[in-house]
Amino acid sequence: MQGKFKAALASAAIAAAFCTSAQAQDAVKIGFIGELSGPTAGVGQDQLDGFKLYLEDKGGKLGGVPIELLVEDSQFKPDVAMQVARRLVERDNVSVITGVSFSNVMMAIHKYITDRDVVLLSSNAGPSQIAGERCSPYQFVTSWQGDQAAEAVGKYAQEKGFKNIAVLAPNYQAGKDIVTGFKRYYTEPLAEEIYTQLTQLDFSAELATVAAAQPDAIFAFFPGGLGVAFAKQYAQAGMMGKVPLLTTFVVDALSLPAIGDGAQGIISGGFWAPDFDNAQSRKFVSDFEKKYGRIPSNYAAQSYDAAALLDSALGKVEGNVKDKAAFLKAMKAADFDSVRGDFSFGNNNFPVQSMHVMEVAKDDKDRLSLKTIATPLKNYQDAYHGKCPL
């Protein structure tokens, strides 16, 4: 009888230990909001795939803590994004929201999320307002401020001596930020400055206007499916190869297979390209191609970095996201290996990073990809950080 009692006590002790261990390993809930349907879905899907790639490599844990990833489609609609943000915060009690593909969506949800002391970790959208006067200690961005890639291309165009450039972009916050960034370093008068409807896929009228202006080059920003449509129509108009095409986010791993060989020679700007020669980038590209069977885009790369940042920060606080001050400090430290190499946050929690210029060319497997050809801006902080009170 005494032996049975001892055995029962031992079993109870084991059960208690198991419960304590289980409580210590409660999953941290992370919400992902992305554009996962419609013509821009490729952007959100690559962000999601990049994040999940890192998470799966870590066995479903970040910082040694189990992660429950809750995925929501914003449908490229700010009102829908607000609905899913409320659901994630109020019903699901997430500690972090990541993803966020477009600046109009970011501007709709940013204040709501950060005002409730939920960490908002953007892996794409970086509008000027949240880099400046509307910044928050609860926001972190692993991509770029909207002007930065265009600033690199503008500086490149200025150095190359182009004198008469026409500019095209969608009429929304990111489009305006990017044109502003381009003009910050390209100081010659523009031949044309044209803004299109956000979901517009027919650019024939705009291309006719641009061709009539006889520019030295074109600078264009059209992300995702918009970029594919624009580049194809650019070629159909007989301009490809005749009028240099300078871009941001028109040509990338998402769009190049659809555009085809005519894209060779197109110039693009960005913080990273698949040819980066550092250990973290090589591992990311290899693992992504092995899992998904395609070259990763910058959208996947910056979301992979977002997961790596969370891995570091959650490890530092041992999963205790309720200690807000400690968690924010761990996020700010940015103690992780980035695919872009060196990474740090400025005062506004946007990256301080180099911005590069790439050219579309064939890689060693005869696939269209981006080849890094210049680095016009090194260890560069965005133009709006001085307006941020942090």
Q: Count of domains in the chain?
A: 2
Q: Considering the domain boundaries, does residue 368 fall inside one?
A: yes
DSSP per-residue letters across 272-327: --TT--SHHHHHHHHHHHHHHSSPPPHHHHHHHHHHHHHHHHHHHTTT-TT-HHHH
Q: Considering the domain boundaries, does residue 11 fall inside one?
A: no
139 and 154 together in one domain: no
- 355 phi and psi angles, rounded to 5 deg: -120, 135
Cα dihedral value 40, 225, 179, 196, nearest 10: -100
Q: Considering the domain boundaries, does residue 18 fall inside one?
A: no
pLDDT value of residue 309: 98
Q: Tell me the sheet residues that pair with 248.
A: 221
Q: Considering the domain boundaries, does residue 17 fall inside one?
A: no
236 and 368 together in one domain: yes
223 and 361 together in one domain: yes
338 and 362 together in one domain: no
CA–CA distances in Å: residue 182 to residues 114, 273, 351: 30, 20, 19
235 and 381 together in one domain: yes
263 and 178 together in one domain: yes
368 and 228 together in one domain: yes
Q: Considering the domain boundaries, does residue 9 fall inside one?
A: no
Contact 148, 380 (CB under 8 A): yes
Q: Considering the domain boundaries, does residue 1 fall inside one?
A: no
Q: Considering the domain boundaries, does residue 117 fall inside one?
A: yes
Q: Residue 82 maps to which CATH number?
A: 3.40.50.2300
104 and 122 together in one domain: yes
Structure-token match 């941001």, residue found: 248
The DSSP H or E segment spanning 247 is: strand 245-248
The DSSP H or E segment spanning 31 is: strand 28-34
pLDDT value of residue 148: 95
Which residues, given as ranges, of the chain have pLDDT below 70? 1-25
Question: 334 is in which domain, residue-wise?
Answer: 23-144+276-345
pLDDT value of residue 319: 97
258 and 370 together in one domain: yes
pLDDT value of residue 16: 41
CA atoms within 13 A on the CB side of 335: 13
pLDDT tens by residue, 214-271:
999 999 999 888 999 999 999 999 999 899 999 998 999 999 999 999 999 999 999 9
102 and 80 together in one domain: yes
d(CA 111, CA 134) in angstroms, rounded, equals: 8
Q: Considering the domain boundaries, does residue 4 fall inside one?
A: no
251 and 157 together in one domain: yes
pLDDT value of residue 4: 42
253 and 361 together in one domain: yes
pLDDT value of residue 25: 63
pLDDT value of residue 199: 87
